[in-house]
Structure 1
Amino acid sequence: MSNASPVYWDPFDRAIARDPYPIYRRMRAEEPLYYNDRHDFYALARSQDIETGLLDWETYSSSRGPILEIIQSGIEIPPGTLLMEDPPIHGIHRKLLSRVFTPRRVAALEPEIRDYAVRCLEPLVGLDRFDLMAEFANELPMRVIGMLLGIPESDQRTVRDRADAKLRTDPGQPMKVTEKALTDTELFAEYIDWRADHPSDDLMTELLNAEFEDETGVRRTLTREEILTYVTVLAGAGNETTARLIGWLVALLDRYPDQRADLVENRDLIPNTIEETLRFEPTGHAIARYVTTEVELYGRTIPAGSAMMLLVASANRDEDRWEDGERYDIRRKIDRHVTFGRGPHHCLGNALARIEGNIALEEILKRFTEWEVDWDNAALSSTSTMRGWETLPISVA
């Protein structure tokens, strides 16, 4: 039986965002190369095409940003904006940040992350109902970014709210992009200046002192403005994504209580549950790229200068890549999903996100083994790239 209506996917349509997966299935089958004439972008839905696109940075460029609205705005991208660069300059800047995300530094944060998770969750024990996002999921990543950056705990909420506000959209509307929004680094300026006089074992101190050879062959340290850009990008990238992961863990385990019961009895499944959740409901459901040269694909021509959406959430359920990919299964054998990307822009903070997810789920299950989501009052937030829970009220047994 064929579908009578044409395939339509719109990243700004909140009704579609509630459950985009039936449309993704149709796109993979009927229009693996999709064009939206209303918003003037192309989209790829099949796993193989998306992996190819992520690896082929010369054709599918990050130099104009990873978000559709930023690409289409045509604004100038400030230097040092790691998510919005291509090699070779991207490699130079990424190498600097990779010093911060070493296994040693990430592992050293684990006790602090766990301590803060406990401090968030303990006051919730004994309550009949609370909003998981407000009370826990939004708080933990904010605290971890603060640990990395050396920002006082009292100021971290302001940092989180400012960073998240830039990513917000009005329902059904694209994000409003201005050059100031991308270069708004004022929030961190006082911390940079203070850290210069008060060095510590944190990211800002590391970046202030790191020597590197820049693209002109000059050996130097980062300028103050470059450090501010680095830190601003990191704060924006690390907060909302991990918060949404925690929300999806709790939402999915409520929808699949048999799997939650299995997890309660077999806590060694927690790491695989994190991976399956990242696969099944990636917080960043789409990645945008700028097409640098004319491409022939599926018998069609994609003009140079086009915006391309790589539908990560579709790739992660592609039946050609995953057996029964539309099924959530915490015991699934997972070798690789594309939630953290691939190629030069593979997420630098993926190990930290995984540790946060593991600790969050471990500490939740120590205190609550059953819960019910109030779906009527849960609110889903969606942008052209992000999809996750804004509010997630739960009742606990």
Structure 2
Amino acid sequence: MSQVRSAASGLRRVLPTVATSLGVPGLWRSGDPRLAPACRAVVVLIDGLGATLLARRGGHAPFLRRLMKAEAATTIGCGFPSTTATSMGTFGTGLDAGSHGLVGYEAYDPQADAVFNELSWEDGPDPLTWQPSRTVFESTAAAGITAVRIGPAFFDGSGLTQAALRGGRFIAASSLPDRVDEAIAAIEANPRALIYLYWGDLDKVGHVFGCQSWQWGDELERIDAELARLARRLPADTALHITADHGMVDVPLHARLDLGEDPELASGVRHVAGEPRSPQLHCEPGAVPDVIATWRERLGRDAIVLTREEAIAAGWFGKVRDEVRPRIGDVVTAMVGPTAVTDSRRHRPELLALIGLHGSITDEEVEIPWLIRPAGAASQ
């Protein structure tokens, strides 16, 4: 595993740039010269499709491999932390985490003095208050362009969707072939449209079996075949964009530390947010110096351990709004070695058993592809 030089996010450019190419005003100051204007666009986000993983396992994905070699293909960063909830906020708003405020898989709510899960949003705050900025889908719909979001039914109206991806119309579909069919139908029915399609099973397979597993390769093959079918069916005036929310690394179970069985590491920590590859620690009053010293000593070269102020100054969260600052841990950690820190006092056994993890700032976790088949390109 290797540390990246910057936690800056390129993911925040994707949706605003695509919407700008469709004629939505005021989203991105300078358009990407690779993107010609289009009447319609489909943006596919494959959860967990890291750029390093795609390059390594490209033999399972002939269609994506061809797109990787195209002039418009690029590798971008998803930002920090490299986790779905944060990346969805970044993708949907065009803002970094410090501005949109979805700062982790689990986040601290200062008003409730409690940690909640930003994926499930169970017992979470009002999502429109938590993330008040206008989304790209809202801007697209306001410009008179059809905005359609396609995903699993439980996403419709969920807290995360309301916070990060609200705007336009939602279509529920279960299987990937069904979602591809819905995307094709939405494109054919609308002369000007932005269609967003989400698929999450690659991430699930990576978590359970590991991103180096044969199961991960098989799932990538299924995804590749469906995306190739989607590309063949799109009209000539429609661009196709494929990206991801984060990558992944496999972390052996024996290489992890457990706060539930390690009183030294747990000492002075009041709340644990974030996730095993990037815990954010909210400390007891006056305990930050001791917590910093203990975590730095115990984790050594396997982790970067910063105060909140140091992490913000380093640009890990981008520009941070005042109301977002206390959501970030007093201590922010990022694993750069093959390890993780779990908490068996809080985490379900299913979470503790996951092999594939993400959330930190290594290349494998942060770097994601942005693959483009521009409008006017020949069907592939």
Q: Structure 2-normalised TM-score?
A: 0.29
Higher helix residue share: 1
- Greater strand share, structure number: 2
TM-score (norm 1): 0.28
